[in-house]
Amino acid sequence: MASDDDCLENILNSIKDRRDRKFVQDRLDELDERASNRKGGTYREALGQAATEMLQEEAERSSVRRRNIRIDAMKYRDLQNFVSAGVARDPVKGWHMALEASLVGINTPLFDPKSRHGGQLSAAALGLAAQRSWIGGAVADMARLASKDPRMEGLDSLFYSRKIETQVFIERYELTRGPAGNPGRTNSPQALEIAKILEKWDRARVDALNNEGAWIKDYSGYVTRTFHDPDRLRVAGRPAGLRMMPYKGFTDADRDAWVAKTLPLLNVRRTFGPQAADAQNILMKMYGGLVDGSHLDMTIYSSEPTVANLAAKESAHRVLHFKDAESWLEYNKMFGRFDPTDAWLYNMRTSANHFGLMKLYGSKPRETFGEIVNWAKNSTMGTPAHESVKAWENALDNRFKVVSGEADRPVGNMWSNIVNTVMAVQRMSKLGLTPFAMLSDNATISRELARQGVDFVTRNESFFSGYFQGAQGSEKREVAELLHTGILGRLRQVTARYDISDARHGTLAKLESLFFKISGITAMTENKRADAERIMAYWLGKQRDKAFGDLGYRESTMLQQFGIGQKEWDLLRTVEWNKVGNEVYLTPDIAQRIPDANVQAYLASRSLAPEPMANLTPETQAKMAADRLDRARTDLAMKLWAYYAERGQYAVLEVGAREKAIMYQGTQSGSPVNTALRLLLQFKQFPFTMISKTWGSEVYGGGKGMDRVAGIVELIVTTTLFGMVANALNDVVKGLDPTARYRNKPARAIAAGFIRGGAASIYGDFLLGEWSRHGQSPLEALAGPTLGQVGQAFEIWSDITHLRGADKTAGHALRFARNNLPFGNMIYTKAGIDYLVYYRLMEMINPGYLERMERTMKEKQGQEFWLRPTQVSR
């Protein structure tokens, strides 16, 4: 065994021949810092031990690089094979179709038997699968622990509520400190158990990323990743009253204030190493990168803070080491984008997206993406397909930006935050009656299950019960827990169904969360999606004893879309599936039970040679062999997680990466163009997703002949019926007679149901002159609800400036206030506010208004009141 002196000599020899003075200085600084942080022994002994660590890590880095070269080459080959399969299907469009499928998925059936890759097993779907597995796994562990230990009852609910958030992350900090840590110092056993579970799934996340080519090491004293809020950094030196004012750039005073507030919270020696005396200047250099967001540029190879010495690399790593957990919490409160729990969730989500991209594109996704696009262009030179590939190049890049997170990098822009606030107010004032419109979810669920081969009775038998979560211990609840269904929705708002919602934490975010909860939108979304996924798992469970070739066309096609062909199906059938009640269900966890021998046979059937193990110890060889089998099982489980997570968002519609890329064109979050598009397209995500997912699946999803026609007819008929029911319920809440419009103007009433059901998407709003499913006017539907209010605001201003009378101005102002009142348009509040306040004030301002309103609604729309406002007002 080499002595400490030998190791020290080796590391010095390894860097002395390098001509890069900065490289040498960096290594010497790191060596010195590691030695200085050691306790006990002489400084010479500490240097030797630090040198041994650095040599071992350098050897590991080299091993990872060599492994990545091999893995990246294999993934590039798989991508080429998959694209070739797309070209075999369509020689012209197949090139860009397959590339789009690898990023965000496509509806057209596509399966490559060589790479075992399908048209829906995209990087985005795998990212969603990882979220479902990791985050869902953490919450499921909390629920499982609560069921076993009475002291931990309600542990998952406690985590959702964030009531002991501070204690949880203090415990998490202590758990990462190893022998120096002091777990339990908050005296909260619940916080400690939650912290242990978060640590467990953080380890699963790190292991998954490392398996795909990352090199993430343990990090002592880690709370969670810090997501800086550029706007908070830019106003660090401003008085509180001026922080919401729009502005550009930042001042020296802002930078100096950030440095002054940050420096006392840091472990200066650990953060800056030998250059600790220059800490203030180094922080000043860091500030600009934190403000413009460049510190969040995508880095896959090492995506976690791993290097303690920041002094000579302030622009490369920007690792801030805090004195303790309380210091990090204080810093995050001042300059963080999220609360600690949300920061942990956001880190898991972004890491999951990186995992999905690395799974298909290797350890250098951006580089591989560029290479595969260039390969497609070069391979099609001189053919009609070449122009098709070139025409799609920008669109593909937009999709990559969304999947990789490049488009979500926050930009310091106070105007964007003001717009976020206005849009949140619009959501809370416009979506109150959405639970009625969500009846059409039953139609999209039924059609999605039909596309998976489920018969009519099975896919509709839980029409009513699907709205309820299911009692503890019930079959529905148990299957939902196995599929981790509804967990992501409970941890974040369901705003994603109607708009982008990654705004920073605060009072407004809490109000929105409350709004979606008490309106019923959250529960309806979670429960209906959980029921849809339960039926998916049940239907696949019914096929348990069938060979792949005996499956129905729709079942086999959908499975292949997620890379599950005959080989994967046969592998899954080597173990028993979950039996809940009297029924069998296919759930992702069963992949982990497959015996080693079966996995080895599966890998051999794919001609996948094991990794080279020459010159490795027997112990290392055994570990690598076991890891290879575990990765194969995890890959199969991820395909199933992707299946349920992705198709669950087809059943209960939610915008995906593909829709975001098309709508927002890959523009950077918070940029002027992105902000303008968000204003214009607010509430259009649902109708756009209806076109992309529901109609796209019906038209391109594999149905043929009369089968396709029958599906389209069923979709139109069922959504129209549910739209008519939703309109009737809306009328009742508004005090209108739900049968009047059918007596007076039946054709118009049916057309209104067609629009409300959503099958016509946004086009119907303009073609038929009806209001949208969310109750917007055509102008609001076209320009967006926020911009749609501008006309009303100008009308009020015109009344004031032209002195058109106090009654007219007051009437316009009252309507404007009524249309923008958060929580005022809900099922429980609308009638009360209208009858007890709004109608009375309008009649007071403009006598005869209510009688004219009733007459106009009957003449133009055929609607009559069952509770006439004129009677209540009198």
Q: Where are the domains of the chain?
A: 1-76, 228-336, 414-687, 705-874
Pairing of strands 117-118, 111-112: antiparallel
- Beta carbons within 8 Å of 339's beta carbon, 6+ residues apart: 162, 165, 332, 505
Q: Report pLDDT for 252.
A: 86
Query: What six digits make up the tokens of 50?
Result: 């630090």
Highest mean pLDDT: which range of 179-188, 508-517, 786-795 = 179-188
Query: What six digits make up the tokens of 300?
Result: 């896959």
Q: What are the start-end ranges of the H helices in 235-304?
A: 252-262, 268-272, 279-292
pLDDT band of residue 490 (cuts 50, 70, 90) is low
Query: What six digits make up the tokens of 347?
Result: 């880190």
**Amino acid occupying residue 78:** D
User: Average pLDDT for residues 245-268, to the nearest whole number?
Assistant: 82
Least confident interval from 83-87, 444-448, 506-510: 506-510
Cα-based angle 375, 379, 382 (whole degrees, multiple of 5) = 135
Query: What six digits make up the tokens of 591?
Result: 């992949």
pLDDT band of residue 559 (cuts 50, 70, 90) is very high
Query: What six digits make up the tokens of 846?
Result: 């403009």
Residue at token pair 């630090």: 50
CB 42 within 8 A of CB 337: no
Judge whether residue 133 has pLDDT over 90: yes
Please report how many Cα atoms fall inside a 13 Å half-sphere around the Cα of residue 128, on the Cβ side.
28
CB 126 within 8 A of CB 101: no
Of 625, 534, 490, the residue nearest 140 (C-alpha): 490
pLDDT band of residue 771 (cuts 50, 70, 90) is very low
CB 262 within 8 A of CB 327: no
Report d(CA 205, CA 345) in Å as an integer.
12
Report d(CA 299, CA 434) in Å as an integer.
40
In tens, the pLDDT along 275-290 reads 788 889 889 888 877 8
In tens, the pLDDT along 17-68 reads 554 555 566 666 667 766 766 666 676 777 777 777 777 767 766 777 777 8
CB 626 within 8 A of CB 367: no
Of 120, 127, 129, 128, the residue nearest 561 (C-alpha): 120
Q: Look at the alpha carbons of 4, 6, 10, 16 in this order and tell me if their dihedral is positive or negative.
A: positive
365-379 and 43-89 helices, crossing angle to 10°: 30
User: Average pLDDT for residues 65-80, to the nearest whole number?
Assistant: 88
Which helix (H) or strand (E) segment holds residue 423: the answer is helix 414-430
pTM value > 0.95: no
pLDDT band of residue 392 (cuts 50, 70, 90) is very high
In 70-150, beta strands by DSSP E: 111-112, 117-118
Q: Report pLDDT for 264.
A: 94
Q: Report pLDDT for 368.
A: 94
Which residue would you say has higher pLDDT here, 721 or 34?
721
User: Average pLDDT for residues 574-587, to the nearest whole number?
Assistant: 95
Tell me how far apart the terminal alpha carbons of the chain are, to the nearest angstrom.
Answer: 98
Residue at token pair 């510190």: 295
Query: What six digits make up the tokens of 201?
Result: 């799934």
In tens, the pLDDT along 663-716 reads 999 888 878 888 888 888 888 888 889 999 999 999 998 777 788 899 999 999
Measured CA distances, 95 to 75, 92, 109, 227 (Å)? 17, 7, 14, 37
CB 651 within 8 A of CB 684: no
User: Average pLDDT for residues 548-565, to the nearest whole number?
Assistant: 96
CB atoms within 10 A of CB 22: 10
Query: What six digits make up the tokens of 653?
Result: 């519609």
- Beta carbons within 8 Å of 292's beta carbon, 6+ residues apart: 230, 411, 412
Query: What six digits make up the tokens of 629?
Result: 């089998």
In tens, the pLDDT along 610-650 reads 766 666 678 777 887 888 899 999 999 999 999 999 999 99
pLDDT band of residue 575 (cuts 50, 70, 90) is very high
Which residue would you say has higher pLDDT here, 486 or 566?
566
Q: Report pLDDT for 164.
A: 94
Backbone φ, ψ for residue 338 (5° rounding): -135, 160
Judge whether residue 313 has pLDDT over 50: no
Judge whether residue 799 has pLDDT over 60: yes
Q: Report pLDDT for 298.
A: 39
Report d(CA 402, CA 202) in Å as an integer.
23
Q: Report pLDDT for 631.
A: 92
In 507-577, beta strands by DSSP E: none
Judge whether residue 739 has pLDDT over 60: yes
In tens, the pLDDT along 415-462 reads 777 888 888 888 899 888 889 989 999 999 999 999 999 999 999 998
Least confident interval from 294-308, 411-425, 617-631, 794-808: 294-308
In 508-661, beta strands by DSSP E: 578-580, 583-585
pLDDT band of residue 779 (cuts 50, 70, 90) is low
Measured CA distances, 821 to 94, 424, 682, 825 (Å)? 49, 11, 17, 8
Report d(CA 62, CA 64) in Å as an integer.
5
Residue at token pair 């009733």: 854
Three-class SS state of 584: strand
Least confident interval from 115-129, 267-281, 744-758, 782-796: 782-796
Of 158, 302, 155, 292, the residue nearest 228 (C-alpha): 292
Query: What six digits make up the tokens of 593?
Result: 């039970």
In tens, the pLDDT along 808-833 reads 788 888 888 888 899 998 998 999 99
Measured CA distances, 349 to 230, 295, 346 (Å)? 20, 18, 5
User: Average pLDDT for residues 85-108, to the nearest whole number?
Assistant: 96
User: Average pLDDT for residues 6-17, to the nearest whole number?
Assistant: 55
Q: Report pLDDT for 317.
A: 40
Cα-based angle 175, 176, 181 (whole degrees, multiple of 5) = 60
- Beta carbons within 8 Å of 650's beta carbon, 6+ residues apart: 444, 448, 693, 694, 697
Report d(CA 308, CA 34) in Å as an integer.
9
**Amino acid occupying residue 590:** I
Q: How remote is the C-alpha of 5 from its chain's centroid?
A: 51
Q: What is the residue-wise DSSP string for 218-232?
A: --TT------B-HHH
**Amino acid occupying residue 548:** F
Q: Report pLDDT for 413.
A: 64
Residue at token pair 């708002």: 493
Query: What six digits make up the tokens of 810?
Result: 């007051």
Report d(CA 537, CA 254) in Å as an integer.
55
CB 8 within 8 A of CB 48: yes
CB 780 within 8 A of CB 788: yes
261 burial via Cβ count (<10 Å: 0-12, 13-18, 19+)? middle
The one-character DSSP state at 671 is S
Three-class SS state of 203: helix
Three-class SS state of 736: strand
Q: How remote is the C-alpha of 72 from its chain's centroid?
A: 26
Measured CA distances, 232 to 229, 331, 332, 493 (Å)? 5, 11, 10, 23
The one-character DSSP state at 118 is E
Length of the chain: 874
CB 4 within 8 A of CB 52: yes
Query: What six digits make up the tokens of 619?
Result: 């112990």
Judge whether residue 557 has pLDDT over 90: yes
Which residue would you say has higher pLDDT here, 790 or 464?
464
Report d(CA 457, CA 326) in Å as an integer.
57
Q: Report pLDDT for 348.
A: 92
Which residue would you say has higher pLDDT here, 270 or 240?
270
Widest CA span of the chain, in angstroms? 99
**Amino acid occupying residue 14:** S
Q: Report pLDDT for 769.
A: 37
